[in-house]
């Protein structure tokens, strides 16, 4: 249905301009000869056409099957799911509860433990602030890691300003926490342990099952940000012993603007709501539940449950193709984070003797992210890579390649070609690389200051 609607739309519009506006997922239905005749110019950058998309940790294209499930709730079944007096409300409510069950099934939970939110950021805020505020009379300490998503770190800093204490666990060079260190940091007044399941930047999978066992032993609630884990690795709330879990729709080929929070019922975990209103979602998240978005997230979860194993095997092959293809042609390529405990669709690489911003700008035909975060004043290396102990110059040259369900072998091969070409070009202009080729150990050089 979605593909049919797209085709009908294009017959009424300029195909040349419209065809490449769709994601890889949708555009597969159309011939490839429709391209931008004069290229694209945006933010001062001109490229020949839409770049290859390899940034799946940032967001994923909506699966056309997910879009199909959503359309009817925009066009004909548009009732408010909280309207209890007519058919429109009843059918929307039924659809929301079906989606709730689909999300719950993917993580091994009860539908009654799923609360819909606007995304993982809101779920993280409710989990961290909500738990600590509810138990504030007895619990004043929280434990997290140095490599968490920014919304978790900022929520913890917010609590510090309110007088709570926060312990930020370091990670090893592989990106993993030390479980013995976690045990030592737990105190009688520890109210929450929050550790991300799969890191968004380096793809490292933390030992969440072992963390859950430790938290259960010390009777401390365990929260995990599973936005990058959902639908990509097997998630089981019982095995992991999590009390709260944050989930996102747009990381699993669902729509943006919707997420979910898992809240354990037995033993029950309580949170203080962060929003006041009509008391929807058991009073935890007031506001009208957006039926089409929730339906889309539910459909995405159901698809992930069916296709996760196939997707993982296929994406693993593409990741190996990408890494081997680059390493066969150039040296000085370092994988950031553990290769043994890693989600296969995330490959974070650093390239020695290359200036990071130039590399990213040179790869304008490939949509990827850098491990470096731009600030208004300077280009700072990623705090995640700094926590791993990555040298500042290597942290500046990191590129995160995100591979997904709709990525093709041809796209991987083209990404390898463009990456190798740009790295070689920049190294030709690098005096440091020339010195290394001559056998000079540049780390032993005493540079004069002017």
Q: Is residue 7 part of a domain?
A: no
Domain that holds residue 274: 64-303
Based on the fold, state whether residues 351 and 205 are members of the same structural domain: no
Task: Report pTM.
Answer: 0.90
Is it true that the peptide bond before 250 is cis, omega within 30 degrees of 0? Answer: no
Indicate whether 298 and 312 sit together in one domain. no
Output the DSSP codes for 303-341: HHHHHHHHHHHHHHHHHHHHHHHHHTT-S-EEE-S-SSS
Query: Would residue 25 count as lying in a domain?
Result: no
Q: Does residue 393 lie within any of the structural domains?
A: yes
What digits encode the pLDDT tens for the residues 8-49? Answer: 544 444 444 443 444 444 444 444 444 566 788 887 888 888
Nearest to residue 131, comparing CAs of 13, 245, 8?
A: 245
Q: Which of 21, 156, 215, 374 is catalytic?
A: 374
Distance CA 194, CA 246 (A): 11
299 and 314 within one domain: no
Same domain, yes or no: 86 and 222: yes
Q: Which residues contact 434 (CB under 8 A, 6 or more apart)?
A: none
Residue 308 CA to chain centroid, in angstroms?
16
Residue 375, judged by CB atoms within 10 A of its CB (0-12, 13-18, 19+), counts as: exposed
How many Cβ atoms from other residues are within 10 Å of residue 172's Cβ? 13
pLDDT score at 375: 33
At 99, list the tokens: 């989606």
Please indicate, yes or no, whether residues 233 and 313 belong to a single structural domain of this protein. no
286 domain residue, yes or no? yes
Report the CATH number at residue 177: 3.40.640.10
Query: Are 260 and 323 within one domain?
Result: no
- CB atoms inside a 10 Å sphere around CB 180: 9
Residues 174, 299: one domain? yes
Q: Identify whether residues 319 and 299 lie together within a single domain.
A: no
Residue 288 lies in a domain: yes
Tell me: do 100 and 225 sit in the same domain. Answer: yes
Q: What secondary structure letter does DSSP report for 226?
A: -
Domain count, the chain: 2
In a domain, residue 279? The reply is yes
**Shared-domain flag, residues 291 and 328:** no
Same domain as 250, residue 204: yes
Residue numbers in the chain where pLDDT is lower than 50: 2, 6, 9-34, 372-378
Look at residue 176 and tell me if it is in a domain.
yes
Q: Which of 274, 303, 332 is the last residue in one of the domains?
A: 303
Q: Catalogue the E-assigned strands of 164-280.
A: 165-169, 190-194, 222-225, 244-248, 259-263
| Contact between 100 and 280 (Cβ < 8 Å) | no
Which letter does DSSP use for residue 376 in this model?
Answer: S
DSSP 8-state symbol, 348: E
Label residue 379 exposed, middle or buried (CB < 10 Å: 0-12, 13-18, 19+).
middle
What CA–CA distance (Å, rounded) separates 238 from 218? 17
Evaluate whether 430 touches 358 at the Cβ level (below 8 Å): no
Helix (H) or strand (E) holding 40: strand 40-42
The 10 Å Cβ neighbour count of residue 438 is: 7
What span, in angstroms and rounded, lies between the C-alpha atoms of 407 and 366? 12
Q: Which of 303, 324, 349 finishes a domain?
A: 303
Beta strand 366-367 with 52-53 is: parallel
- Look at strands 190-194 and 222-225 and give their pairing: parallel
Of 277, 303, 329, the residue that ends a domain is 303
Q: How far is CA 92 from the centre of its chain?
A: 29
Asked if residue 93 belongs to a domain, the reply is yes
Which CA distances in Å does 280 have to 11, 71, 85, 277, 433? Answer: 42, 24, 17, 8, 60
**According to the model, what pLDDT value does residue 448 have?**
58
CATH of the domain at 342: 3.90.1150.10
How confident is the model at residue 17, as a pLDDT? 42
**How far is C-alpha 233 from the chain's CA centre?**
13
What are the distances in angstroms from CA 87 to CA 69, 99, 298?
A: 19, 18, 21
Q: What is the pLDDT of residue 388?
A: 97
pLDDT tens sequence across 348-380: 999 998 887 889 889 999 999 985 443 333 467
Does the annotation mark 374 as catalytic? yes
Residues 283, 323 within the same domain: no
Q: What letter would DSSP give residue 283? A: G
β-bridge pairing 259-263 and 333-335: unpaired
Cβ-contact 66, 303 below 8 angstroms: yes
The size of the chain, in residues, is 450
């Amino acid at each position: 249905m979605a593909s049919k609607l797209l085709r009908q739309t294009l017959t009424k519009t300029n195909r040349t301009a419209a065809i490449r506006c769709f994601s890889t997922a949708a555009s597969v239905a159309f011939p490839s000869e429709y391209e931008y005749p004069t290229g694209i110019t945006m933010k001062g950058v001109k490229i020949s056409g839409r770049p290859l998309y390899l940034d799946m940790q940032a967001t994923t294209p909506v699966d056309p099957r997910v879009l199909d499930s959503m359309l009817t709730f925009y066009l004909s079944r548009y009732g408010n799911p909280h309207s209890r007096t007519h058919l429109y409300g009843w059918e929307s409510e039924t659809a929301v509860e079906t989606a709730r069950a689909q999300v719950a099934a993917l993580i091994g939970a009860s539908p009654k433990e799923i609360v819909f939110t606007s995304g993982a950021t809101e779920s993280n805020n409710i989990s961290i602030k909500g738990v600590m505020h509810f138990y504030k009379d007895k619990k004043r300490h929280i434990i997290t890691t140095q490599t968490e998503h920014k919304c978790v770190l900022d929520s913890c800093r917010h609590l510090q300003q309110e007088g709570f204490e926060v312990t930020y666990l370091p990670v090893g060079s592989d990106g993993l926490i030390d479980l013995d260190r976690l045990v030592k940091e737990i105190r009688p007044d520890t109210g929450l342990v929050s550790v991300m399941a799969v890191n968004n930047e380096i793809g490292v999978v933390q030992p969440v099952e072992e963390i859950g066992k430790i938290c259960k032993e010390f009777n401390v609630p365990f929260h995990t940000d599973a936005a990058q884990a959902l639908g990509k690795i097997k998630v089981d709330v019982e095995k992991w012993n999590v009390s709260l879990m944050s989930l996102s729709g747009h990381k699993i080929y669902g729509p943006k603007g919707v997420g979910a929070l898992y809240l354990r019922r037995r033993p029950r975990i309580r949170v203080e709501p962060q929003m006041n209103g009509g008391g929807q979602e058991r009073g935890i998240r007031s506001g009208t539940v957006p039926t089409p978005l929730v339906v889309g997230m539910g459909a995405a979860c159901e698809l992930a449950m069916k296709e996760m194993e196939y997707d993982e095997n296929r994406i693993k092959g593409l990741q190996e193709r990408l890494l081997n293809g680059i390493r066969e042609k150039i040296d000085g390529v370092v994988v950031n984070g553990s290769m043994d405990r890693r989600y296969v669709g995330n490959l974070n690489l650093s390239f020695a003797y290359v200036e990071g911003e130039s590399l990213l700008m040179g790869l304008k035909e490939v949509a990827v992210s850098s491990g470096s975060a731009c600030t208004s004043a300077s280009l700072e290396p990623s705090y995640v890579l700094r926590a791993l102990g990555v040298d500042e110059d290597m942290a500046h040259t990191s590129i995160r390649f995100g591979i997904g369900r709709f990525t093709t072998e041809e796209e991987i091969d083209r990404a390898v070609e463009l990456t190798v070409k740009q790295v070689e070009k920049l190294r030709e202009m690098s005096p440091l690389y020339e010195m290394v080729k001559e056998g000079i150990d540049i780390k032993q050089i005493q540079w004069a200051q002017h």
